[in-house]
């Protein structure tokens, strides 16, 4: 991602950072357009939180530049401290000040007289639907409420950029979807460029406008959720984002030969490849002389996963509709829907 433009809200270029001889960032490039909600998605240890902290100014990169709205905040001898960056942050565990009331927490970063600050904070609380809790102490709130207070506190001083570190990981699964929607609404209303870190692919794909997949200290791919999922640039990205089947094959231009026969490729390629087949691309039909045998079934209510074994012994996982009928041990015919994606075998 070297295609940085002057209009970007945030540009990171070639960021490196080493902690105790272990390189964590090996050259992170990222350009975020104004107003976008971007997910930094990656497995633990890939450097996504470190990237976030460099942007916030809690740490400084060993090399590389960070430019926020045209202002260089780190790199080339510049080290702007966190308090001078106008970058808001929502911490994983919210980090609300336990010794201050909810209202005082929200008012913390505001300027002006005490009365103005309280009035502004109260207005913010009202906007996030927490008008009644200003006088309570933070630990008396539910996780979702704390989350929103942390968000209001970070947004109060009108930062140029909002960072969220694993914002939903501390919430119960049941609450998560609801809080996610609330937070999305607040962000959209504020129209603020936001970057959030997550290791949850579903969260990244559903919540963000664009996703930056980070692997081993680099941004492996940056694109819309659908591009990331349907056209991953590497086998590693494909394997990390969503469930993936890989079959060995031989590509000849627009087609590839593999255990499932001849498939169409989205992008032409030649030579030995791994073919990516997403579980929902697989269509199954019971057939006595089918190419695959059903090994197992997992029923989820909204869909089901089916484990298959091909004649050559390769295993595949398919996702089919909840109403699909098929018994373990039965033979099925396998059809691939749409075009496949393949990666040269190393």
Partner 1 sequence: MQLTRSIFGFGSDARWLMALRAPLRRVRRRSRTMSILAVIAALTIAVTLLPIAYLAVRALGSGSEGLAYALSPRTLAVVGNSIALAAAVAISAALVGVPFAWLTTRTTLPLRRFWLVAGSLPMVIPSYIGAMIFIAAFGPRGLAADLLAPLGVEKLPPIYGFVGAWLSITLFTYPFVALPVRAALLNTDPAQEEAARSLGLRRRAVFWQVTLPQLRPALAAGMLLSALYALSDFGAVALMRFDAFTRVIYTQYTSSFDRERAAVLALMLVAVTVAILALERRISRRGSGNYRAGTGCARRSAPIRLGVWAIPALLFCGLLVGVGVALPVGLLLSWLLRGAVAGAELSPVVAPTLNSLSASLLSALASALLAIPPAYLALRSRSRFRQWLGSAAYLGNALPGLVVALAFVFFASNLLPSLYQTMPILILGYCTRFLPLSIGATRSALTQINPRLEDAGRGLGLRRWQVILRITAPLARAGITSGAALVFLSAMKELPTTLLLAPTGFETLPADIWTATSEARFAQIAAPALLLVLVSALSLMVMLWQERQTADRL
Interface positions with partner 1 (CB under 8 A): 56-59, 81-89, 91-99, 108-109, 137-139, 146, 153-154, 156-157, 159, 170
Beta carbon of residue 287, minimum distance to partner 1 (angstroms, whole number): 51
Q: Is 55 helix (H, G, I), strand (E, B) or coil?
A: helix
- First-to-last C-alpha distance (Å) of the chain: 24
Beta carbon of residue 95, minimum distance to partner 1 (angstroms, whole number): 4
Q: Which has the closest alpha carbon to 305: 242, 260, 247, 259?
A: 242
Q: Which is nearer to partner 1, 4 or 120 (CB)?
A: 120
Q: Which is nearer to partner 1, 91 or 229 (CB)?
A: 91
Q: Which is nearer to partner 1, 84 or 323 (CB)?
A: 84
Beta carbon of residue 87, minimum distance to partner 1 (angstroms, whole number): 6
∠ CA 12-13-14, rounded to 5°: 130
Beta carbon of residue 83, minimum distance to partner 1 (angstroms, whole number): 5
Q: Which is nearer to partner 1, 146 or 245 (CB)?
A: 146
Beta carbon of residue 270, minimum distance to partner 1 (angstroms, whole number): 47
Q: Which is nearer to partner 1, 66 or 87 (CB)?
A: 87
The H-or-E segment that residue 259 falls in is none
Structure tokens at 318: 């398919």
Q: Answer whether 222's CB lies under 8 Å from 32's CB.
A: no
Q: Which is nearer to partner 1, 88 or 326 (CB)?
A: 88
Distance (Å, whole) CA 309 – CA 320 = 16
Q: Which is nearer to partner 1, 190 or 310 (CB)?
A: 190
Beta carbon of residue 222, minimum distance to partner 1 (angstroms, whole number): 24
Q: Which is nearer to partner 1, 72 or 100 (CB)?
A: 100
Beta carbon of residue 189, minimum distance to partner 1 (angstroms, whole number): 20
Dihedral sign, Cα of residue 239, residue 244, residue 245, residue 249 = negative
Distance (Å, whole) CA 288 – CA 333 = 8
Beta carbon of residue 276, minimum distance to partner 1 (angstroms, whole number): 34
Judging by DSSP bridges, how do beta strands 161-165 and 194-198 pair with one another? parallel
Radius of gyration of the chain (CA): 24
Distance (Å, whole) CA 296 – CA 327 = 8
Q: Is 120 helix (H, G, I), strand (E, B) or coil?
A: helix
């Amino acid at each position: 991602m070297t295609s940085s433009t002057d209009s970007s809200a945030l540009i990171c270029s070639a960021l490196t950072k080493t902690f105790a001889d272990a390189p964590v960032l090996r050259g992170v490039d990222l350009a975020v357009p104004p107003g976008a909600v971007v997910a930094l998605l990656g497995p633990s240890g890939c450097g996504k939180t470190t990237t976030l902290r460099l942007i916030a100014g809690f740490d400084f990169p060993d090399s590389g530049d960070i430019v926020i709205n045209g202002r260089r905040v780190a790199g080339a001898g510049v080290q702007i401290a966190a308090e001078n960056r106008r970058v808001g942050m929502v911490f994983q565990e919210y980090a609300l000040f336990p010794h201050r009331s909810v209202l005082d927490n929200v008012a913390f970063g505001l300027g002006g007289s005490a009365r103005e600050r309280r009035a502004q904070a109260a207005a913010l609380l009202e906007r996030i639907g927490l008008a009644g809790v200003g006088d309570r102490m933070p630990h008396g709130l539910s996780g979702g409420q704390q989350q929103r207070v942390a968000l209001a506190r970070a947004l109060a001083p009108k930062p140029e950029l909002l960072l969220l570190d694993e914002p939903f990981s501390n919430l119960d699964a049941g609450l998560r979807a609801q809080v996610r929607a609330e937070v999305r609404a607040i962000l959209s209303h504020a129209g603020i460029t936001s970057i959030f870190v997550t290791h949850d692919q579903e969260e990244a794909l559903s919540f963000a406008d664009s996703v930056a997949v980070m692997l081993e200290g680099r941004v492996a791919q940056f694109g819309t959720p659908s591009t990331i999922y349907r056209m991953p640039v590497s086998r590693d990205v494909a394997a990390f984002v969503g469930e993936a089947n890989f079959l060995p094959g031989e590509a000849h231009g627009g087609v590839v030969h593999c255990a499932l026969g001849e498939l169409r490729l989205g992008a032409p390629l030649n030579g030995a490849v791994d073919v990516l087949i997403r579980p929902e691309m697989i269509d199954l039909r019971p057939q006595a002389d089918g190419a695959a045998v059903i090994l197992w079934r997992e029923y989820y209510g909204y869909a089901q996963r089916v484990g298959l074994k091909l004649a050559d012994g390769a295993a595949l996982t398919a996702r089919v509709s909840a109403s699909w009928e098929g018994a373990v041990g039965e033979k099925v015919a396998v059809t691939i829907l749409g075009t496949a994606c393949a990666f040269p075998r190393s």
